[in-house]
């Protein structure tokens, strides 16, 4: 498990031209002389250094110096509590700006890894960014709408749909960026939150709904076919944000079938015995080893910067 002891990092302040991400910076750990970059993007409420396994990956990559990767954690506008008034489009703009910065540093290969809602950000990146990278990793790709309903009944689902409609009315009346009433948000959300963000996360047609089981194969395949570089998909075996009855491997296989042939790595699978953010030692070890094996499998491919 990632150590809680002090650790060193290099701070990269970088200029932003297209993304209004003021005081943008990223934090680098591991091999600072590496020629390749591994970029980690967390989920809702996350920011640099909040997901311990990112540092565990950096430590392991130091042992595999021939792969020549260091780990970067950029602070996007969605980081920490910023997600409540941000959106996936901002994530794409911020990550794209950082990718351009890394290319300016001379980085050869760039791999993007998303955790939780960071996966939605990478889905959006694959579809809409014009800045190519060399691979993607999705860890704990769950539907935020379905996550909010795990263990709850039909009454809670109806209540959620009522609040979604309130958010929709606010958006249509030009108040999409206004905060939702506290009466409409549970304590789970550490309120406030904009109407637009609530809608994107919880509506069946919300912009964040890439992984919902209610998405038709026709619509979903349009998303997955946007990936044109190697893709690793990893579910957490004991993810509390998914119904226990969900066949996680079957879901991965379904997504794999929607992608272009050869895109999804055969290393994709379910991390055994671990929760959403992989804080169990054995699960973390399994994840780290699989990530390194994935990077080894892509080592011979030419850089997208060429």
pLDDT tens readout for residues 91-113: 999 999 999 999 999 999 999 99
Residue 28 pLDDT level (bands cut at 50, 70, 90): very high
* pLDDT (tens digit per residue) in 269-294: 999 999 999 999 999 999 999 999 99
Q: Where in the chain is the domain with CATH 3.40.50.1820?
A: 10-143+211-297
Residue 274: CB atoms within 10 Å: 25
In contact, 72 and 9? CB cutoff 8 Å: no
Strand partners, 293: none
Two tokens at 79? 């980081």
Name 149's Cβ contacts closer than 8 Å, sequence gap at least 6.
156, 157, 160
For the domain spanning 10-143+211-297, the CATH number is: 3.40.50.1820
State the chain's mean pLDDT as an integer.
94
Find out whether 113 and 231 touch, Cβ atoms under 8 Å: no
Rounded to the nearest 10°, the torsion over CA 165, 125, 100, 57 is 110
CB atoms within 10 A of CB 261: 7
39: DSSP letter: E
The share of the chain scoring above pLDDT 90, in percent, equals: 87
């Amino acid at each position: 498990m990632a150590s809680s002891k002090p650790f060193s990092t290099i701070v990269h302040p970088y200029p932003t031209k297209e993304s209004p991400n003021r005081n943008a910076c990223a934090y680098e750990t591991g091999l600072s002389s590496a020629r390749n970059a591994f970029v980690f993007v967390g989920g809702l409420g996350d920011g640099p250094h909040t997901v311990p396994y990112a540092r565990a990956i950096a430590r392991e990559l130091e042992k595999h110096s021939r792969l020549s990767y260091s780990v970067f954690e950029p602070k996007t506008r969605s980081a920490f509590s910023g997600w409540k008034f941000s959106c996936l489009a901002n994530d794409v703009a911020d990550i794209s700006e950082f990718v351009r910065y890394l290319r300016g540093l001379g980085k050869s290969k760039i791999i993007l890894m998303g955790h939780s809602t960071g996966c939605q950000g990478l889905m959006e990146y694959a579809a809409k960014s014009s800045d190519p990278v060399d691979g993607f990793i999705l860890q704990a790709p769950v539907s935020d709408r379905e996550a909010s309903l795990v263990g709850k009944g039909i009454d809670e689902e109806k209540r959620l749909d009522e609040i979604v409609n309130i958010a929709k009315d606010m958006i249509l009346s030009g108040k999409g960026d206004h905060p939702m009433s506290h009466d409409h948000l549970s304590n789970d959300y550490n309120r406030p939150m904009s109407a637009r963000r609530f809608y994107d996360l919880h509506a069946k047609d919300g912009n964040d709904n890439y992984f919902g089981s209610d998405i038709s194969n026709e619509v979903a395949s349009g998303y997955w076919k946007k990936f044109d570089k190697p893709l690793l998909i990893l579910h957490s075996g004991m993810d509390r944000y998914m119904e226990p009855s969900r066949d996680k491997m079957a879901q991965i296989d379904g997504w794999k079938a929607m992608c272009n042939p050869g895109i999804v790595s055969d290393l994709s699978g379910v991390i055994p015995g671990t929760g959403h953010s992989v804080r169990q030692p054995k699960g973390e070890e399994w994840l780290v080893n699989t990530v390194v094996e994935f990077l080894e499998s892509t080592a011979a491919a030419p850089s997208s910067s060429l």
